[in-house]
Amino acid sequence: MQQKKPLVVVTRKLPDAIETRMMELFDVTLNLNDTVQSKAELIEAVQSADILVPTVTDRIDASVLAQAGPNLRLIANYGTGVDHIDLASARQRGITVTNTPDVLTEDTADMTMALILAVPRRLAEGERVLRTGKWVGWSPTWMLGHRIYGKRLGIIGMGRIGQALARRARGFGLSIHYHKRNRLHSDIETELEATYWDSLDQMLARVDIVSVNCPHTPATSHHLSARRLKLLQPHAYIDNTSRVEVIDENALTRMLRNGEIGGAGLDVFEHEPAVNPKLLELDNVVLLPHLGSATVEGRIDMGEKVLINMKTFVDGHKPPDRVLVDTF
């Protein structure tokens, strides 16, 4: 007698190749319209599923997990960050949580480096002027930005992405500084020519560019508070391709509007997909619609990770990407 396939509920549209493979292996409910699931729909999903495949747009909090059916044993997250999942509630209910680490490192580092280049050189602002027909020709003093060569880059969270960014930034002549809860091995520091700062406050006051590359955890929520943002030098730039919760967005917006810092490159926002209208008015900000990991290759690699975690779990083994602790 053929064994019944586990029921998998997928909350968003995934690459076709991944969905096809899932359909071959499991009994799958897909979201072909790619609509963001409401809380009621998420509760319905956890009540019926053996495996849930959510994304960053799904808030799997304690109240949702409280309604989980007895068959839900695995949440195979499509993405690296898991701050949208109540890990403590999942553990209490015996639900394993997995994610998709490593596969997005290079893509996110590329995008972060792009923002580091774009903001000081006013690329987005110049492109807007050109498209609106306001460019009147070259001038020796018009649309001047700042070079990044020789500047100090402060990386917050020197994990895989932070280290990949450091390697890129060194090629552009930036000196590397970083803050992390646990200091890197001296061999890695030597390779990256990176200076460690135990005090985030002291690092912020001394660097020219800040890149946020740490995950959102209780320890990093508003890590860049209004007080800490005030420590930045007036010419400093800040880029965030990680999680919006790490920065006090309102405080950052006020400082940008008041010219208290040089500019910002933001790929994440507090109320996505809505963006603070005050940010939209600013020329010293480059705004991207959460594109940090948005490559065809990256999305497929994420799906492959999800499939491996699911198949390993169903076969009775520990998935390779179980989420155990929160670190940055």
**Whether the predicted pLDDT of 1 surpasses 50:** no
Amino acid 327: pLDDT: 45
Of 257, 290, 304, 322, which one is the catalytic site residue? 290
Are 32 and 76 within 8 A, CB to CB? no
- Domain range annotation of the chain: 7-103+296-314, 105-287
Inform me whether the pLDDT recorded for 227 exceeds 80.
yes
Q: Do domains 7-103+296-314 and 105-287 have the same CATH topology?
A: yes
Active-site position among 122, 216, 243, 299: 243
Mean pLDDT for 264-274 is 94
pLDDT, tens digit, for every residue of 5-25? 999 999 999 999 999 999 999
Question: pTM here?
Answer: 0.88
Find the farthest-apart pair of alpha carbons in the chain and give their distance in angstroms, rounded. 79
131 is an active site residue: no
> Catalytic residue at 243?
yes
Pick the CATH number of 105-287 from 3.30.1180.20, 3.40.50.720, 3.30.70.1140, 3.40.50.300: 3.40.50.720
* Look-up of token digits 């900000």: 285
- Specify the CATH superfamily of domain 7-103+296-314: NAD(P)-binding Rossmann-like Domain (3.40.50.720)
Catalytic residue among 24, 127, 193, 272: 272
Q: Is the pLDDT of residue 137 over 80?
A: yes
Average pLDDT, the chain: 95
